[in-house]
Structure 1
Amino acid sequence: MTGVLAALGAAMAWTGASALWRSLSGRVTAIRLNAMKNGLASLLFLPVLLTLPQDTEMQAVLLLLISGLIGIAVGDSFYLGALRRLGTRRTLTVEASGPVLASIAGVLVMGDSLGVKNGLGALLVSSAVVLIALKAKKTNQRDQGVIAADLGPGLLLAFTAVICGLSGAFLARHVLISSDLTPLQTAAIRLLGGWLGLLPFFKGIWRQTNLTRREQWRLVTATVIGTNGGILLQQVVLQSMPVGEGVTLMATAPVMALFLGRMEGDPIQLSGVAAAGLALAGVACTSL
């Protein structure tokens, strides 16, 4: 039950934070926004890093740093870039393809067999992405040019973010089940890895962005909820549940994001509900 509640909590945290991050994406580039939020998140977890046991295995720490570099520094930068182009609900729906891509990678790399359920899951998620594209084409003429131009790059960024996120999650899962590190400690080390990977973008970052006080509070709130809270809950999930089941529950984010559509000028429509439903059904078929 702990893993289930943590997974649903992580999905809720990422959904709410995504809307706040997207509201800032017009003022800050994706990479700079990622650098700012990871710098803040690492600072909040600094006491955890300073109290790590002296006998902590260096190999485990190194794997977590690499996990943070791939999944947080690189993956989140692509994710934030996709948010700017696709919007919260569309981006999170594409993110729901994670388990499908993991299954395909298992066939190509590990030699796993692709069963009927996995094949059906891939078909359902692919259908969801098609619905997203069709919905973009049906928008009004004023928005259509912008969305059409952003759709291809946005989907590419979103899928790349999925791959990076899965790579980081599998590395973190390996450390959590093979070492004595707690989810809080692994979350702190992963965030440190993401922060180190984004160090080149920190020079003059606050002076150049010129965020208003209200926007700064949005950044802090989104960081605490989506980065610190979301990653901590994710580590609890990875420790207590198989990756497939955990990712399936965390993929409920697109359904939660449906309620944010109206706030972003993207009202809920039947195609959006169907896309989210198909994506979740595909994730369930692939992972359960």
Structure 2
Amino acid sequence: MTGVLAALGAAMAWTGASALWRSLSGRVTAIRLNALKNGLASLVFLPVLLMLPRDTEAEAVLLLLISGLIGIAAGDSFYLGALRRLGTRRTLTVEASGPVLASIAGVLVMGDSLSSRNWLGAILVSGAVVLIALQAKEASHQQEGEIGTELSSGLMLALVAVICGLSGAFLARHVLISSELTPLQTAAIRLLGGWLGLIPVMKGAWRRSAMTRQEQWKLVVATLIGTNGGILLQQVVLQTMPVGQGVTLMATAPVMALFIGRMEGDPIQLPGAAAAVLALAGVACTSL
């Protein structure tokens, strides 16, 4: 029961934080917002970094820093850019393709084999992404191209964010398997790597963001909930229940985001709801 609650809590945390980050995307660029977010999250995990064993392998730390550079510095910047263009619901639906793409990458890179159910999952998630792409195409015809172009570029940013996230995750998993570092320690080092990669854009980012005091607090809350809280809940899930079930429950974020979309001026429509359900079904087929 603890794992189930943690998985649903993680999905809610990522959904709520994504909505808050999206509300700030008009005040600061995606890359600067990512720099601020990672700086705050790294500060929260500073005690974990300070208590790392002195005999920690330098190679493991280096791989995790690179993982953070790819998956967090680059991946989260693309993700935040997609949030501004696609909205919370569509972005999280595309992000749900991550577990399925990871399975396919396992076949191509590591020679793993996929069952017919895994391939069905890949087809269902692909269908969800296609539905979002068709919405973008339809919008481009209806809105003289401006909104449609935003949706199309947002879809590309979301897909690139998934690829970056998976690349970083593969590196992190290699370290988890080959070293004695805990998931919390690897998460803290990865966040540090993501923050270090964004230092060049950090100078004056807080002042230049032009955020009000209320918006600055939104950023802090979104970071604590979505980055720090989300990671901690994810670790509880991985500790207390099978990976497949945990991944599927955490992939309920696109369904939860259907209700947030209404508040963002993106009312629930049949294609959007179908895309969210297809994504969830696809992850279930692949993970369970």
TM-score w.r.t. the length of structure 1 is 0.91
Are residue 108 (structure 1) and residue 118 (structure 2) matched?
Answer: no
Deviates more, 1:86-95 or 1:122-131: 122-131
Whether contact under 8 Å (2:138, 2:148) holds in the other structure is no
Q: Deviations over 1:153-200 (max 9, x none)?
A: 111111111111122223333333444333332221111111111111
Whether contact under 8 Å (1:99, 1:244) holds in the other structure is no
Rate the CA distance shift 1:172–1:249 in 2: closer, same or farther, 3 A.
Answer: farther
Structure 2 distance, partners of 1:71, 1:81, is: 14
Partner of 2:251: 251
Structure 1 distance, partners of 2:142, 2:209, is: 28
Q: Deviations over 1:102-125 (max 9, x none)?
A: 122122222233332122112211
Partner of 2:195: 195
Letter in 2 for 1:152: S
Q: Deviations over 1:10-56 (max 9, x none)?
A: 21111100000000101111101000110111112112211222222
Map 1:267-282 → 2, pairs under 5 A: 267-282=267-282
Q: Which runs of 5+ in 2 are unaligned?
A: none
Partner of 1:63: 63
Letter in 2 for 1:124: L
- SS of the residue 1:123 aligns to: helix
Structure 2 distance, partners of 1:277, 1:212, is: 37
Deviates more, 1:263-272 or 1:213-222: 263-272
Letter in 2 for 1:173: R
TM-score w.r.t. the length of structure 2 is 0.91
Letter in 1 for 2:31: I
Partner of 1:176: 176
Are residue 130 (structure 1) and residue 124 (structure 2) matched?
Answer: no
Q: Deviations over 1:249-268 (max 9, x none)?
A: 32111011111011100112
Whether contact under 8 Å (1:177, 1:239) holds in the other structure is no
Rate the CA distance shift 1:165–1:119 in 2: closer, same or farther, 3 A.
Answer: same
Letter in 1 for 2:259: F
Are residue 39 (structure 1) and residue 39 (structure 2) matched?
Answer: yes
Whether contact under 8 Å (2:118, 2:286) holds in the other structure is yes
Are residue 73 (structure 1) and residue 95 (structure 2) matched?
Answer: no
Structure 2 distance, partners of 1:224, 1:111, is: 38
- Count of residues in correspondence between the two structures: 288
Structure 2 distance, partners of 1:270, 1:130, is: 14
Are residue 149 (structure 1) and residue 153 (structure 2) matched?
Answer: no
Over the matched positions of the two proteins, sequence identity in percent amounts to 83
Give, in angstroms, the shift of residue 228 of structure 1: 1.1
Letter in 2 for 1:69: L
Whether contact under 8 Å (2:140, 2:147) holds in the other structure is no
Deviates more, 1:100-109 or 1:176-185: 176-185
Root-mean-square deviation (Å):
2.3
Letter in 2 for 1:148: G
Map 1:78-97 → 2, pairs under 5 A: 78-97=78-97
Structure 2 distance, partners of 1:241, 1:160, is: 30
Give, in angstroms, the shift of residue 73 of structure 1: 0.8
Give, in angstroms, the shift of residue 238 of structure 1: 4.7
